[in-house]
Each structure stands twice: as structure tokens, then as C-alpha cells.
Structure 1
Amino acid sequence: MEIKILMLAPLSSIHTIRWANALYDRGIKIILAGATTYDPTLYNEGIRIISLQLPASQTGRNAKAVGKLSYLSLVNKVKQLIKEEKIDIIHAHFASSYGLIGALVGFKPFVLSVWGSDVYDFPIKSLLHRYILKFNLSKATLVLSTSHVMADETRRYTQKGIDITPFGVDTNVFKPEYDQKADSKGFVIGIAKTLEEKYGVEYLLRGYAKFREVYANQNSDIQLKIAGEGILKESLVKLADELGIAGHTTFLGKLKHSDIVGFYNSLNIAVFPSILDSESFGVAVIEANACGIPVIVSDVAGFKEVVMHEKNGIIVERKNADAIYEAIERLYLDKTIREKMGNFGRELVKEKYEWNKNVEYVISIYNNILKYHE
């Protein structure tokens, strides 16, 4: 029997794109509805995509004031869509927004995936926000989380069972490409993240500056590559200039997802210095590991779940540029440790975060829910 899933999710997110395409490729009928702009060429042609753009009166200067409640106007449209398509399951991604639509529609079964800021940041804004999150979770048939640590945070707002469904990595795509590897004489450090405060790129710049100060005389070909865009880009470029590392720091802008594999393979190490626990699962970390690249990560909860200290990377104190410098120095001086950590990291990803296994597990969840609701 063909399963029809109505996915409520941000259309431009790479996570939405990956889930929708992977499920469709495995015979699941996907109807996708979201309220963000998107590139249709990134989706399989057989996926029906419905734009839930906000009404004109709720865009522009009024958008911030309307906030999350804007989604209420979309409920009737979703109800009509359920009737038209004879939907089997609603699966909403992001508990504070699309989760609200799913909860208000009242259709069962209703699967709700938490993503991070929806359970870490949203409920602490006000009592109303907390109530909305609790309400959304209470209406779900089942709650899904990408990590155990985020599941624990979610349990503050619900007593429902929570299944763990990681954003895994296709290790047939994310793999070592030895022709792309950094020149053996040089040393390349990198990060691929949105340039926002929560990702702590400032501390990487400061740690890297100290590293260059100590070792640039020994090796002039030490580089830092930063992939990503964001509101802090201008200030980070300025900081690199102030620290005297601008000539050896490259801001690459936002890369296409298809270019990320080549990016990681051009590095010797990847560094992820996030400062907030809303970094609930280290997708970028396991992508780097899958390419055989050792990582340095901060001690935020989500990273500690995917990094085994001294095994596939080094965990350092958050907001600590000196600790980042020391970790970079250690990996720079010991190529054997770099290779050992990179190899261990790839095997760990293949064992725990293989994308195909993750997708099949979600399909098994759908099948079990439908059996229960027959």
C-alpha cells in the first residue's frame, strides 16, 4: 500500500530537501507544504509542493508583529489539502511553527519532529510561547528528535515517547577524496556554518590567529577557510583584518550542498566552536568525519553526542580561543593522530549515522503508526 505523507516544513532547508527526496525515492508519496521560498530543481519532480505563503497583509513591515500566529491563517488550507490528497500521516518539522499548524488541523496520525531552537529557544521567550510548544507536543501521535540530548530537552514539555531519528550522512557521497586533499606541505583549517553568533566563529578566528602567530614562520602555507553567509560576515571579515590574518583567511560564502564534500576534503581539520546548546545535533561534524576529517568541537550538548573525545575529534571548552589554539596545535604537530581520528570518525558515522539506515527507520515508524491507527 502506498503511504501518503503531508510534510509541513521549511521548503528551503537542506534537511527538508533530503528527507522529502529520500522518502520519495523509497516509494513514499510526498506532498510538501511550507511557507518559505525554495528552488524547485532541488526536489524530485514527483513531489507535489504547495507554497503556504503568508497573506499580503501579513508580510513586509507587519511580519514581525504577526510572528508565529501568522501560521494560524494557513490551517484551513492544510485541512483542504488533506481531503484532496487523502493523506495518511501529517509529519510536521519544527515544533514551534509547522507544529502549530499540524496541531490545530487536528488530523491523526500526526508526527512532530523537533529541530533545535523550537525547544531550546522558543519556549523561554514567554509563558505563551511555552504553552504553544506544550500544546503542539500534546497533539502529536509521536515526537521525533535528531539526538538524545534534544529529546531530553523536549521531555521538559511533554511526557510522550520520543524516537531518535538522526540527520544522517550518505557515506557513499561524503567520503574521502584523496585527489582533493590539502597539499601535504600546507595546513588547512575550515568551518562550514551560518555566520551567526551562536556558531562561535569569532573564537575560531582568535584561536587561528594565535596558531599562525606561533607557526607561520615554520609554515607559511597555513590557511583558514570559512564557508557560509550570515549577519556577522562583515564583522568577522573586519576581525580577521584586525587580527592580522585576513591574507590567510578565505570567506567562501554559502556553498551548494553538492560542493560541501569537496570543501571538507580540502581540509586537514574542521572546527566547530558553537556556543549554545541549541546546536542539538552536529550534522556538519558527521559530514566532515565521513570524509575522514578529524574535528575540533566545543562542549555544547549536541556535539558531545557525536564526538568521542580523543577518538574522532577533540572537545574543547566553548568560548575559549586558547583551547581552540591548543587543539589545532596538537593536530598540526601529529599527523598520525589526525589520520587515526579521521579514520575512526568515518567508521563511527558508517555505524551510527548512515543516511540510508536513518531513512528506513523513519519509514518503519510510519508503517507502525498506520498499523496502530487501522
Structure 2
Amino acid sequence: MKILVLTWEFPPRIVGGIARHVGELYPELVKLGHEVHLITVEFGQAPMYEVVDGVQVHRVPVAASNDFFHWIVNLNESIGYHGAKLILEEGPFDIIHAHDWLVGDAAIALKHNFKVPMIATFHATEFGRYNGIYNDNHRYINGKENLLAYNAWRVIVCTDYMRREVERALATPWDKIDVIYNGIRPEKKKHQIDFDYWNFRRLFAKDGEKIVYYVGRMTYEKGISVLLNAAPKVLWEMGGDTKFVFVGGGNTDHLKRQAWDLGIWDKCYFTGFMSDEPLDKFQTVADCAVFPSLYEPFGIVALESFAARVPVVVSDTGGFPEVVQHTKTGVVTWTNNADSLAWGILEVLKNPGYRQWLIDNAYEDLERRFSWPKLAKQTEAVYQRVVQERSQIMWL
């Protein structure tokens, strides 16, 4: 098959989880014998065209814009123009695959103009992020999501939770939605051993302190304030011998103020953005990863911690309970409940044998449920179904 992929992020441009998803899924589809062209946004010094792990990557410029929504309009114009050029010069294509609403206008236009069936993957919804639609920006994005879901031949989501959400929030028929998990390449998460362990660890904590960390975006929906509220109880139970490290870019002023008001400022460290190499080392010295999200369609950060061999504590929101099996591959706590979160962290910190058992089970689960070669074959099956159905109709 010849597949045209549209995405607003692709490495080295990483905004959220989509970049990792598309960056790891499509090389596996190339290995299965398919030709993949991927259109995305130009970024820094990255080439406008290159072949990455067999995927033909086309980066397009986006005209200057007044605000984010204007930028999205210009983005779709650029992607649509280049997509049409590719279809005319390199086509025909069998499938167009759009990742989230941000590339929806281009995907829909290409679908109708060239009569190529389009598949849409929803990595999250605006309704889910805010637990409802409350203002004009929400309504605009929700409208774009509805339009993309309606125009898609099939819709792919990453968990059963997201299948229910898309059915409800985007009025998408249940039998139009396929569930395919996100995955990870465990070998890419290097378990660092060749470095000065103790001197590196001392950059973050004293020798006697356990390291509990969060890594990700510093946004409300990630529940970081819940972790801060849980910290005093953990510190009390651990005799003060714990350091809470927050890794990620974004505005953290309000979180730092919260830590100060709770009287735990000296036990918190906000690192800012951390690139992959130091993050790999950091995870080697850490004792517990915590992801207390208020909304989480999947939670690929949990898989990254599995691969890094760090025990995880998560909230029971969204797709987390599907990804993390409670008391087997991690500890699942009540969402937005600091006492429950503190209990989960203490279960890991106080029981080293249990901690290692969770780590071993989680690493094994990566191959069992989250292997990209397996997930690529599931994606291929969706493509084959759509191509077969498309061949049976006259598209006027």
C-alpha cells in the first residue's frame, strides 16, 4: 500500500505524544512492505525532505500568522498544497491518515479532491481535556474534531476509554472506531550504567533521599498540584528523606509558589526541560515515577518509565488503568486525591521487593502489549479493511 500521513509534529519537532507515536509506528509499516510519505511542519535545521527509517518525510513551511488558530489555517493550506502535489506526482495513494484535528482541513480536502479514503487517529479530544465544552475556543476545536471524525472512513484511538470518549464527544458510531494501543521501543530507553552514578545523583538529591519524579508538560490536566499536595504526607512517613523532582518545560511559577506555601520548597526541584540523554541517566538514579493526571487518554510516559525500569504510580483517569495494571505493573490511585496518591508512592518507597516485582512485570508487559511491530500489524489490518471496502464502491 501507499500511505500518506499528515501530522503537525514529527521528530525532532516534539510537542506532545504524537511525534513519538508517528516516529515509531511508520518505520514498522515500512518494514511490512508499505510505502509511507509523511507531511509535517518545518523545524529548525531539519531537512525539508529526508528518509527516516524508510519513511519519506516532507516538511513544509507555514506562513506567518497572527495567532495559533491562524497558524493552523496556514498549516493546513501548506500541507494540503504539498499533499496534492505528492498525490499528482507520486500517486495514486491508497490511504490518507490524519493525526488529530490540527491537520483535519487538509486531510478532508485531499480525501474529497482525490477520492482517497481517509483514516483519523484521535490522540485526545477537547471535550476530554476540559471535561466539557465551555468557550468559543473549545467550540471551534470540538467542531473541527467532529468534522474530521465524520469524514474519516475509520477512526483509531489508543484505549477503550478513548473509544467511549470519541463516541460520546464526537458522535462517532461505536463500530467505526478501532482501538490500537500506543507503543514504545524499549531499546531506545537506554538504562545508563557508564557514568558517575553518585555524583550525577547528587545534582538532584542528597545520598539518603529517595527520588520521586514527574516528567511531562507542566499543565493543569497533568495533576502536578495533586502530587505537591501529596508530598507532605510522604515526607512525614519517610522521615523527610525524599526529594520531589519535576522535569519538563512550561510555566511553573504557580507550582513553585504552591511548594513554598506547603512548606516543602527545600524538598522540591524543578529542572525545566531535560533532553533524552540526561533524562535516561536521571531515571537510572530515581526511585519512583508519578503521573497524577486529571485527564490522560493513554499515558505513554508510563511506558517510558516501564522501559527505564522505574516503578510507576498513576491516577485512575482515562486510559491509565488499561496501561498500568494495578498491583502488577504499577500502582493505580484515585484521581485528584492527594491522600490516595501519597499511599501509592509510599507503597513503592517502603517495599523494595514489591518495587522490583512491579519493575520486572512492567518490562515484560512492553513486549506483550505495547510492541510496535505488533501494533503496526493491527494498523495494517485497519488499512486493508478500508482499501477492501473502498474497492467495492463507486465514489462519485
TM tier, smaller: 0.7 to 0.9
Displacement of 1:223 after TM fit?
1.9
Uncovered stretches (5+) of structure 2, i.e. residues with no partner: 202-206, 392-396
Where in structure 2 are the equivalents of 1:113-262 lying within 5 Å?
113-118=121-126, 120-121=128-129, 124=133, 129-156=141-168, 157-159=171-173, 160-174=175-189, 186-216=209-239, 219=241, 222-231=242-251, 233-257=252-276, 259-262=278-281
Return the match for 1:102 from 104, 107, 114: 107
Percent identity over the alignment is 22
Alpha-carbon contact 1:10-1:36 (below 8 Å) kept: no
Structure 1's 178 and 245: CA in aligned 2 closer, same or farther, altered over 3 A?
A: farther
Displacement of 1:326 after TM fit?
2.1
Return the match for 1:40 from 35, 46, 71: 46
Displacement of 1:304 after TM fit?
1.4
Displacement of 1:168 after TM fit?
0.5
Alpha-carbon contact 2:63-2:71 (below 8 Å) kept: no
Displacement of 1:9 after TM fit?
0.3
Matched with 1:4 is: 2
TM (norm. structure 2) is: 0.79
Shifted more, 323-332 versus 85-94: the winner is 323-332
Structure 1's 252 and 360: CA in aligned 2 closer, same or farther, altered over 3 A?
A: farther
Where in structure 2 are the equivalents of 1:1-80 lying within 5 Å?
3-11=1-9, 12-13=13-14, 14-15=19-20, 16-24=22-30, 27-35=33-41, 37=43, 40=46, 44=52, 47-56=55-64, 59=65, 62-64=66-68, 66=70, 69-70=73-74, 73-74=77-78, 75-80=80-85
Uncovered stretches (5+) of structure 1, i.e. residues with no partner: none
Per the alignment, in what secondary structure is the counterpart of residue 309 of structure 2? coil
Alpha-carbon contact 1:187-1:268 (below 8 Å) kept: yes
Shifted more, 5-14 versus 258-267: the winner is 258-267
Displacement of 1:228 after TM fit?
0.7
Alpha-carbon contact 1:173-1:261 (below 8 Å) kept: no
Alpha-carbon contact 2:6-2:97 (below 8 Å) kept: yes
Matched with 1:265 is: 284
Structure 1's 262 and 162: CA in aligned 2 closer, same or farther, altered over 3 A?
A: farther
Structure 1's 114 and 185: CA in aligned 2 closer, same or farther, altered over 3 A?
A: same
The CA distance in 1 between the partners of 2:368 and 2:42, in whole Å, is 34
The CA distance in 1 between the partners of 2:386 and 2:234, in whole Å, is 53
Return the match for 2:120 from 90, 99, 112: 112
Q: How many residues align?
A: 361
Structure 1's 39 and 289: CA in aligned 2 closer, same or farther, altered over 3 A?
A: farther
Shifted more, 168-177 versus 319-328: the winner is 168-177
Where in structure 2 are the equivalents of 1:284-303 lying within 5 Å?
284-303=301-320
Alpha-carbon contact 2:160-2:179 (below 8 Å) kept: yes
Matched letter for residue 169 of structure 1? I
TM (norm. structure 1) is: 0.83
Displacement of 1:72 after TM fit?
5.4
Alpha-carbon contact 2:327-2:358 (below 8 Å) kept: yes
Superposition RMSD in Å: 3.1
